[in-house]
Structure 1
Amino acid sequence: MEITPTIRAEIEGYLKQKGLSMTQFGHITNLNVGTVSGIITGNRSLSVNQLDRITLGMNLPPDYFYERFVEECVEETPLNWRRIKPFLYRCVELGRLDCLQRAVSMFLDNPVYTHSLFELAEDLFHKGYRDTAAYLYENVAESERKQHSERLALCQYRLFSIRIGKDQAQNLQTAAKFEPFVDRLDEFDQLDALKDLANVYRSLSMWDKVYKFSRQMYKLGRIQYGLVHNSKREIKLDKKLSRPLFVYIAYAELLCANACDATGDHERALEHIRGFTDLSWVKEADSDTLYWLDNFKQWSKINSYVNKLMSGDISILPDYVEHIAGEKEIFAELLNIIEAANRYNMNVDHILQRFEPQIAAYQEVSSSDMYTQQFLPQQYVRFWYKMAKYSLNKGRYPYGFKCLIIAFEKAVTINHGLLIANCVGLFERFKAYATPEILAQYDMWERIDQKDGF
């Protein structure tokens, strides 16, 4: 077995091979000769900055010595967070998660370093290194002694944010795991967490959960808004919320309205719509507030149309169509129209013809935002599923099956159990009218569904 030389031995061998003095090598690496001498003789500890300069001076890959640095300067020496922290950042920059994990493991058993590891995770999370941050959050949570601590809850919130994606079955597990920790967050983190949880359950059509967490968000938002504006002394927000404080109150009402409309409680939905229609109580007047007020004004109008339409009032359909005609994003509204058409046996061919170019070009839009990332894919499936149902019910089998295959394929891809079941049920209902080609496509996706255990 070949013995790997130490970092110091390899540096010394390099100088001999190249015939370089320590002074000459110091000029190459921009290190003074005393530092070079101290590193080679072992009388001076080696920092990652010095190591990087030496590695560059020897024309080696940047991470060439990193595994040996962990062995010699982390595992075999007394723990020194200030010295090792820069090394961890370099591991992240160079994609050496293996070296980071080995180095971090030395600090995990000592609770003195829990806060430092958590702060590192927070910094990496906000800089976009989410996978590395997740590893740190998991280990901080595991080593956290106080099981009801706010830091433990924040670790779980970050892990929830990182793990939410397009796989809806995984999203359900992730949300359920995070739920018990929501109440342990501080009030402002809790507002964002409740918003995120409600949105995840909205994408899963779990309307009881949507209503539950939206009401919690509403009550907490009202309390905090009252404290900020009605206290005898000025209260400043210590933390930066992702939105103005009033938005959480109004958005909670909007989500409650959505949940009630989805479950057929249209009268109760109307009460919640009124709750975010009248925002005269909002005291702020900055540009961010005005932006959100304008959004809620538009959402109020649309939700009022939807509420009446889903209640069976089809007289508002022309006004609703004219309203959405000027909008850039129309598919959520078209979905509502098609759903109402299926529910009340309406003919909306003229509306579909009017928007035929947009429908033909409809593609799922990618996004890095957590909510849109997991909401838009299921909306895409629902749109094509409703289009399939509408077309098949009217005997337009080729187009109806085309829409259904699109919906089924995407439902399997995002692992959405309810939508998969809906697609299968609709296909079985009209299976007798399917061509051999359609049957073959359906069988292929059904095999994929069963293979992956969805």
Structure 2
Amino acid sequence: MKQNTTVRSEIEEYIRQSGVDLQSFSNSIGLDPPMLSAMLHSNPLTMSIEQLDLITAGMGLSEGKLFELYIVECFETTNPDWERIRPFLNRCAELNRHDSIRKVLSGLVKDSNQTTEIFDAAEFLLERGLQEAAAIIYQSVIETEELNHSERLAISYYRLFQIYRQDGHKSFMIAMQFIPYRHRLPDAYALDGLLMLTQLFAVKQKWDEVENYSVELSQLAENIYLKQQQWEDPEFNPSRPLVYYYAQGYLFKAGSYEHRGMFEESKKWIAKYADMSWLERLDEIGISEVERFKMYAKANLLSIEIKEGDLTRVSEYLDFLKQYPDELVDGLTTLLDTSNRNNVFIDEYLDVFADKIAQYKINHKEGWNNQTVTYYYKEPFYSYRFHLFFRKYALYCFRKNLLREGLENVLKSFRLSFNINSKDGMVNSMALFEMHRPHATEAQQSVYSGICKEVWEYEENLRPFGDSIYDG
């Protein structure tokens, strides 16, 4: 567009070049001609975003083509009101015009009196699933909010953590920003916030942190439960039943001990979530959660007993895994880990689930020759589970002298470790590959070099900001 053009001048130029008059153009787009004429001669421009869309389409332009001019005329040269800003932000979000959202917000953040409206706009977009646009607006709230102790500021940090929790590279940095504000959240949000922190640090294998936040989670759930009037209040509306958070706190604390080899301590906490039926007034969903955690307790207790060397429990464990296939990845990891540490082979057990293992390999197939990479799980916590499985499976293959198959599993573990930004996982994968590099095929070496390049480029991109891929 030419310099100093306006929405009006663009419309007038279109009418002149197309050879139609204003009335014909108005009728063709479904606008009343006097109304369009009045809009074009108003100063400032009084056109709504809906009317702008009709005009844009009538001129044969792409959606959002006139947004930049509209921003200048409606929001930069006048004192805009939210009756016009809100619909415009919503439309920008629908079209992924995030540049336009930022441009509007850059003028609004100068006025801290607009913070409430900006926050409400972000909440509305998040409810509609427009997460990236909502994240931009929450960041604007953070920049605008003058009161560090405000609940709105805490919720904005929490929302950003929610939005980016599945991003293995952004989630840790955003979590660090959220942590100081976690105690300022409403309890319903605080439950989910603490659970997300617990899961994040489990993925990072920072077990002391897992223990700390799991304790906070179960204590908060207990405090809410003891304040019976609070959790019975219709305004208290967490995303899951209270028993779920109570039990998750115990489950992750038990897991933090298990991963540190403190099996007896872990058993004590497993016993706590093995039966949560003592909680009063459980509804149907709550009762189903009690049963689910009872199943988790059985699985994790069997897992620990096998890790302790009691191989007489393997048959029972296999029956359990057949009954609950969602627990199979963790179960196979337990069996492989026990096998590797006790220097025994368990082919007869792995053969039982050969079809599932083959499917896991397909679902996590690394792209060869720059093909698209397909992953079955996107959640970092699930990627973490598969990263452990493939690493233990690689060690098992190396013990059997199945070197190329072992390297294939190393590459899968390496990829998943990078996806979730796991320092330990990446270092272990690189060490295993280098130890067995002489046996790698050209294709395997090419994939390995490609992932290494991604690691390097990611760290280089962060370095100017004082961050590092290994900080998390």
What TM-score, normalized to structure 1?
0.89
State which drifts further: 253-262 or 101-110: 101-110
Secondary structure of residue in 2 paired with 1:281: coil
Q: Deviations over 1:252-284 (max 9, x none)?
A: 111111111111111111111111112121333
1:215-294 counterparts in 2 under 5 A?
215-228=215-228, 231=229, 235-294=232-291
Using the TM superposition, give the Cα deviation of residue 198 of structure 1 relative to its aligned residue in structure 2, in angstroms.
0.3
Using the TM superposition, give the Cα deviation of residue 121 of structure 1 relative to its aligned residue in structure 2, in angstroms.
0.9
Query: Which residue is equivalent to 1:391?
Result: 397
Q: 1:398 to 1:29 in 2, by over 3 A?
A: closer
1:307-346 counterparts in 2 under 5 A?
307-329=304-326, 330-346=328-344
Q: Deviations over 1:219-263 (max 9, x none)?
A: 0001111212xx4x9941414311111110011111111111111
For 2:15 and 2:421, how far apart are their aligned partners in 1? 59
Aligned length: 445
Q: Quick check: 1:27 aligned with 2:39?
A: no
Out of 421, 444, 449, the position equivalent to 2:449 is 444
Query: Which residue is equivalent to 2:157?
Result: 156
Q: 1:22 to 1:254 in 2, by over 3 A?
A: same
State which drifts further: 396-405 or 72-81: 396-405
State which drifts further: 68-77 or 173-182: 173-182
Query: Which residue is equivalent to 2:439?
Result: 434
Identity of aligned residues (%): 28
For 1:449 and 1:63, how far apart are their aligned partners in 2? 34
Using the TM superposition, give the Cα deviation of residue 24 of structure 1 relative to its aligned residue in structure 2, in angstroms.
4.3
Query: Which residue is equivalent to 2:190?
Result: 190
Q: Deviations over 1:61-120 (max 9, x none)?
A: 332322111111211122222122212212222232222222222211111111111111
1:332-371 counterparts in 2 under 5 A?
332-362=330-360, 363-364=363-364, 366-367=376-377
Query: Which residue is equivalent to 1:102?
Result: 103
Query: Which residue is equivalent to 1:199?
Result: 199
Unaligned runs of 5+ residues in structure 1 are none
Q: 1:200 to 1:234 in 2, by over 3 A?
A: closer
Using the TM superposition, give the Cα deviation of residue 409 of structure 1 relative to its aligned residue in structure 2, in angstroms.
4.1
State which drifts further: 285-294 or 153-162: 285-294
For 1:424 and 1:292, how far apart are their aligned partners in 2? 40
For 2:390 and 2:75, how far apart are their aligned partners in 1? 56
Contact 2:122 2:135 in 1 (8 A): yes
Q: 1:412 to 1:445 in 2, by over 3 A?
A: farther
Secondary structure of residue in 2 paired with 1:361: helix
Contact 1:409 1:445 in 2 (8 A): no
Q: 1:199 to 1:409 in 2, by over 3 A?
A: closer
Using the TM superposition, give the Cα deviation of residue 326 of structure 1 relative to its aligned residue in structure 2, in angstroms.
2.6
Q: 1:396 to 1:48 in 2, by over 3 A?
A: closer
Contact 2:161 2:174 in 1 (8 A): yes
Q: 1:409 to 1:82 in 2, by over 3 A?
A: closer
Contact 2:204 2:423 in 1 (8 A): no
For 1:387 and 1:218, how far apart are their aligned partners in 2? 34
State which drifts further: 106-115 or 157-166: 157-166
Using the TM superposition, give the Cα deviation of residue 159 of structure 1 relative to its aligned residue in structure 2, in angstroms.
1.4
Contact 1:405 1:441 in 2 (8 A): no
Out of 402, 418, 427, the position equivalent to 1:421 is 427
Contact 1:166 1:374 in 2 (8 A): yes
For 2:200 and 2:440, how far apart are their aligned partners in 1? 37
Q: 1:16 to 1:355 in 2, by over 3 A?
A: closer
Query: Which residue is equivalent to 1:401?
Result: 407
Contact 1:15 1:21 in 2 (8 A): yes
Using the TM superposition, give the Cα deviation of residue 342 of structure 1 relative to its aligned residue in structure 2, in angstroms.
1.8
Secondary structure of residue in 2 paired with 1:224: helix
Q: 1:157 to 1:316 in 2, by over 3 A?
A: same
Letter in 2 for 1:67: E
For 1:55 and 1:412, how far apart are their aligned partners in 2? 44
RMSD of aligned alpha carbons: 2.7
Contact 2:188 2:236 in 1 (8 A): yes
Contact 1:79 1:107 in 2 (8 A): no
Q: Deviations over 1:159-189 (max 9, x none)?
A: 1222233535x43333223221211211111
Using the TM superposition, give the Cα deviation of residue 437 of structure 1 relative to its aligned residue in structure 2, in angstroms.
4.8
Contact 2:75 2:104 in 1 (8 A): yes
Q: 1:171 to 1:94 in 2, by over 3 A?
A: closer
Query: Which residue is equivalent to 1:62?
Result: 63
For 1:50 and 1:274, how far apart are their aligned partners in 2? 63
State which drifts further: 130-139 or 2-11: 2-11
For 1:397 and 1:57, how far apart are their aligned partners in 2? 64
Contact 1:332 1:379 in 2 (8 A): yes
Secondary structure of residue in 2 paired with 1:346: coil
Letter in 2 for 1:99: S
Contact 1:387 1:403 in 2 (8 A): yes
Q: 1:187 to 1:24 in 2, by over 3 A?
A: same
